A and B are shown apart, each in its own frame.
Chain A
């Protein structure tokens, strides 16, 4: 009977009813959904301003039903700073990939965090440059074969993968820094809580909140969606441990 069907899973209001351009098995869709749900749950849709970055996540405005400004590559935290200083009562978040945040935009993220800008940063770490076709990222693992490390990432010449959640946790301006993953239902639920918390902190005027999300990129890893999903727990978590590295609200 139709009236006995109870919806338990709906599209968040903050997401538009459109199909995404993301590849099969890509985790951006899941992460978009978690961000949208946090915005809905905290009743922030009407005052949220997103800052889109350069990479696969640039089309944020195609999927989120909110105001969005697009930033140059790596500059989202600086653009977000300008927005937030003009509208201190708004909720500002940036959504950035690893090349954007941890390579070309290192200065911007470090100093936005260090100033304690009242914004939320969602950092999607999939160890590769997705949009440009799978080049080495600042987070690519040792030995990882990419289109610009055809012999594998060599730590002696290419440097070490950078752990941004830990780095930012060291800055006095950071209120919250955590690393989560969306590779399994339980961890999706944990990620959801961390993302909600990062928005909750901003809503309460609590300063700079950062969530790094480990994510897959089956296309550029050259893996099936299932194998790519496996790689997160099999290879990435050892170097990028999940956890909360700073939480001033708990301290």
Chain B
């Protein structure tokens, strides 16, 4: 029987990363994710790995860039304000086609905001925090088990598509403790070799170059079309999504991450009250489960999107259903005391179910 552990989300994501072979971590302290650098500083050195507390978030993401360029599986983590500082590095990672895993345990904002739970960094993650029109894989776990499992998925996707993979957690899921079964990592056998890495030539006829600067006529456009093609492949092959009760639903509720946990309880309360309510929980928010929304709304024409922000994912839901359904929104912008209860969401479900 698999062993069961009782751990914090911030620890689970580290355990998943280490299981996936990550031996390098560069980071900077910020609440509510400090257990991540603390865990890595304790666990990586005995494994022969490297933990380095950088002088800044900017330096940390660039150390990640260097370690990734050198061919290693590498991770960093932060929370909203720190991710803003890392935005430059994310753009360079994407432009230089470098894989890495970045964790954001979202806190509330804007500005210093607060250290409590929020989902207001959805745009930042999904639309690209940095300059230049790039995308990242963005995974939105809603449990401690998923933090572990999706950390592993993130490393594989990053390596397969040569791009940064982002884990969009939040203060609640990072600080919460629940059961974890730490499944061993089964390495995908078809991951491409990192023959592009800078290692020193060691007899190679040509030096490897990793860069994002393309000055020759047409070169940057070709590079960008190549990146866009990868994003299209992600949309075709890598969408992950949980659905429930869509067959007879007259109202579809959608939410991601921690909020989806509360929404799911509200959906069950609705079912017990005889209301035909279904659930779509995107696990990849990029690539977004567009097809699943489109198909589900061919039959059910009403969607209620619930978020812990003032309405961000709801825009992707609207784009996906392309006016074939009535998309409504309920949300609160996050912060201490603004996490909705299941009863509060159940009330919303009843209201939107009726009108």
Are A67 and B201 in touch, CB under 8 angstroms?
yes
Residues of B177-214 at the interface with A, using a CB-CB cut-off of 8 Å, are 198-203, 207-213
Q: Mark A44-73, 1 if CB is under 8 A from B, else 0.
A: 011111011000001001001111111110
Are A65 and B207 in touch, CB under 8 angstroms?
yes
Task: Tell me, yes or no, whether A108 is within 8 Å of chain B by CB.
Answer: yes
Are A81 and B63 in touch, CB under 8 angstroms?
yes
Lowest 6 A-B CB distances belong to which pairs?
Answer: A82-B66, A78-B62, A47-B200, A86-B70, A82-B67, A70-B211
Are A83 and B201 in touch, CB under 8 angstroms?
no
Residues from chain A with Cβ under 8 Å of B211 in the complex? 52, 61, 68-70
Are A82 and B55 in touch, CB under 8 angstroms?
no
Are A81 and B52 in touch, CB under 8 angstroms?
yes
Of B88-96, B247-255, B333-341, which stretch is located at the interface? B88-96
Q: Which of A46, A64, A70, A72 has the most CB of B within 10 A?
A: A72
Nearest-CB residue, chain B, relative to A110: B55
A64 and B198 CA atoms in complex are apart in Å by 14
Nearest-CB residue, chain B, relative to A21: B215
Residues from chain A with Cβ under 8 Å of B70 in the complex? 49, 82-83, 86-87
Q: Mark A77-94, 1 if CB is under 8 A from B, else 0.
A: 011111111110011000
A47 and B62 CA atoms in complex are apart in Å by 21
Are B200 and A87 in touch, CB under 8 angstroms?
yes
Give the Cβ gap from A39 to chain B, nearest Cβ, in Å: 11
- Which residue from B26, B58, B62, B210 sits with its C-beta under 8 Å from A68? B210
Q: By the criterion of a CB under 8 Å from any partner CB, how many residues of chain A are at the interface?
A: 35
Are B67 and A85 in touch, CB under 8 angstroms?
yes
Are A79 and B200 in touch, CB under 8 angstroms?
no
Task: Tell me, yes or no, whether B137 is within 8 Å of chain A by CB.
Answer: no
A52 and B212 CA atoms in complex are apart in Å by 11
CB-CB under 8 A for A49 and B200, given A70-B213, A72-B62, A82-B69: yes
- Which residue from B24, B96, B213 sits with its C-beta under 8 Å from A82? B24
Task: Tell me, yes or no, whether A111 is within 8 Å of chain B by CB.
Answer: yes
A108 and B70 CA atoms in complex are apart in Å by 19
Task: Tell me, yes or no, whether A107 is within 8 Å of chain B by CB.
Answer: yes
Give the Cβ gap from A13 to chain B, nearest Cβ, in Å: 11
Task: Tell me, yes or no, whether A153 is within 8 Å of chain B by CB.
Answer: no
A207 and B202 CA atoms in complex are apart in Å by 23
A87 and B24 CA atoms in complex are apart in Å by 12
A61 and B215 CA atoms in complex are apart in Å by 13
- Which residue from A65, A78, A83, A110 sits with its C-beta under 8 Å from B54? A78
Task: Tell me, yes or no, whether A75 is within 8 Å of chain B by CB.
Answer: yes
A110 and B209 CA atoms in complex are apart in Å by 26
Residues from chain A with Cβ under 8 Å of B212 in the complex? 70
Task: Tell me, yes or no, whether B120 is within 8 Å of chain A by CB.
Answer: no
Residues from chain A with Cβ under 8 Å of B65 in the complex? 69, 71-72, 75, 78-79, 82
- Which residue from B62, B202, B207, B209 sits with its C-beta under 8 Å from A79? B62
Are B200 and A69 in touch, CB under 8 angstroms?
no
Interface residues of B (CB under 8 A from A): 24, 26, 50, 52, 54-56, 58-60, 62-72, 74, 88-89, 92, 96, 198-203, 207-213
Nearest-CB residue, chain B, relative to A108: B59
Are A83 and B66 in touch, CB under 8 angstroms?
yes
Nearest-CB residue, chain B, relative to A90: B200
Nearest-CB residue, chain A, relative to B55: A111
A83 and B210 CA atoms in complex are apart in Å by 12
A78 and B60 CA atoms in complex are apart in Å by 7
Residues from chain B with Cβ under 8 Å of A66 in the complex? 200-201, 207
Give the Cβ gap from A78 to chain B, nearest Cβ, in Å: 4
CB-CB under 8 A for A75 and B58, given A70-B96, A85-B24: yes
Are B198 and A49 in touch, CB under 8 angstroms?
yes
Are B56 and A86 in touch, CB under 8 angstroms?
no
A80 and B59 CA atoms in complex are apart in Å by 11
| Besides A52-B211, A68-B198, A68-B210, 8 new A-B residue pairs in contact (Cβ under 8 A), listed by A number | A51-B66, A66-B200, A68-B207, A69-B65, A82-B68, A83-B70, A86-B72, A90-B200
A65 and B200 CA atoms in complex are apart in Å by 10
Query: Can you report 28 A-B residue pairs in the complex whose CB atoms are below 8 A from each other?
Result: A46-B202, A49-B200, A51-B66, A64-B207, A69-B65, A69-B211, A70-B211, A71-B66, A71-B92, A72-B62, A72-B88, A72-B92, A75-B65, A79-B63, A81-B59, A82-B26, A82-B62, A82-B63, A82-B66, A82-B70, A83-B66, A84-B66, A86-B24, A86-B66, A91-B200, A107-B56, A111-B54, A111-B55
